[in-house]
Amino acid sequence: MAVQLEVDPAYTGYNPTQQNDNGSGTSAKTVADDAAVSEHGRTFHSFKQGAYLLPNDAVEQDRLNLQHNLITMMLDGKLGFAPPVSASPSPTNVLDVATGTGIWALEFAKQHPTSRVVGSDLSLIQPAEGGVTNVRFVQSDAENEDWDFPCLFDYIHLRFLVSCFGNVNTVLERIYKQLAPGGWVEFQDTLCEAVYVDGNRNTEGTAANDFLKAFVGGMKAVGRDPTWIGRLEELLTAHGFVDVHVTLLPNPLGPWPKDEKYKKVGTLSAMNMGMVMDSVVKLVMANGWTDEQAKDLARRMRAELAEGKKHMYIPFCFVHARKPE
């Protein structure tokens, strides 16, 4: 772990009703998907229906924007670790796979006005570009459709996709083919485990552990393995990538860290966890749980965060690699 955290001795628990301006970004405009289908009181994409198991409604869009701000706060405002993020001159062509609300693609386009940025997603929930003329959004299925982009990309970015792919090797093959020689790919994703601040991984009996086990179990029940991110260095090397770099940073479950930056990250993480419990109901139920069991787990998770006695984090993984010249 690149950062070691200490517990703030004054921390007494997380109270979501007392949060102030912490950069959540949840006031951003949301975009309705007119073709969406309704299930469990939420809306989901209809294009390639079932390929993605989380919602695409306004509540989920707020959560996705919150996640973006959480990660950029973790990175001190940067959009990633790969060299193209800070390259001069800027990369010519950039692809954001599974762009969601498009917030990362829009930010990259603003920071790199000479780059041509494309965001692809199953849901067309991205806002009108609003004067950002060097970004466009397309509807596509990254795993189950051939990529037909008219150019090779200098940088391909993927984030929060552990739940998206049945066969990540298919996606890696397409990324390799679509990258220009010397181009970079970057994955930013969560490891599906909770860890105590002292490094102890035995979190059995905690709501966080039970949630992650239900999430992984639900994914496996629908034919997906969300633990591939932990093997990504090996997978990238097997597909011909070089200069593979892995960085792990802690994503604290609550504002318990003594470090002020990670205290703010933990606040956003707790907000995100409170929202995601409702977003993954289809996955939890795929694990054989009833709706009431899923709701009980959500109550336990929120109570655990509020109590503040479990000082845990989820490792967040940044992996970038280069296609040889």
Could you give the CA distance from residue 91 to residue 117 in angstroms, rounded to a whole number? 9
pTM for the whole structure = 0.91
> Tell me: the pLDDT tens digits for 294-319?
888 889 999 999 998 999 999 999 99
Overall average pLDDT of the 270-274 stretch: 91
Could you give the CA distance from residue 99 to residue 138 in angstroms, rounded to a whole number? 10
pLDDT of residue 129: 65
DSSP 222-248: TT--GGGGGGHHHHHHHTT-EEEEEEE
Q: What percent of the chain has pLDDT over 70?
A: 89
Pick the most confident of 125-134, 258-267, 288-297: 258-267
> Tell me: the pLDDT tens digits for 243-253?
999 999 999 99
Mean pLDDT, the chain, as a whole number? 88
Residue 227 has pLDDT above 60, yes or no: yes
Identify whether the C-beta of residue 25 lies closer than 8 Å to the C-beta of residue 13. Answer: no
Q: C-alpha 285: how far from its chain's center?
A: 21
Structure tokens given for 319: 């992996």
pLDDT of residue 147: 94
Identify whether the C-beta of residue 277 lies closer than 8 Å to the C-beta of residue 36. Answer: no
Angle ∠(59,55,17) on CA atoms, nearest 5: 30
Structure tokens given for 168: 């990540």
The overall longest dimension of the chain from CA atoms, in Å, is 55
Pick the most confident of 3-17, 234-248, 267-281: 234-248
pLDDT of residue 278: 76
Q: What percent of the chain has pLDDT over 90?
A: 61
> Tell me: the pLDDT tens digits for 112-169?
999 999 999 988 878 876 679 999 999 988 998 899 999 999 999 999 998 889 899 9
Identity of residue 266: G
Give residue 288's pLDDT band: very low, low, confident or very high (50, 70, 90).
confident
Could you give the CA distance from residue 119 to residue 173 in angstroms, rounded to a whole number? 19
313 — phi, psi (to 5°)? -140, 160
Overall average pLDDT of the 182-209 stretch: 94
Give residue 224's pLDDT band: very low, low, confident or very high (50, 70, 90).
confident
64/27: higher pLDDT: 64
Structure tokens given for 129: 């570009």
> Tell me: the pLDDT tens digits for 6-39?
999 999 888 876 554 444 444 456 666 655 677 6
Identity of residue 130: G
Structure tokens given for 109: 């386009």
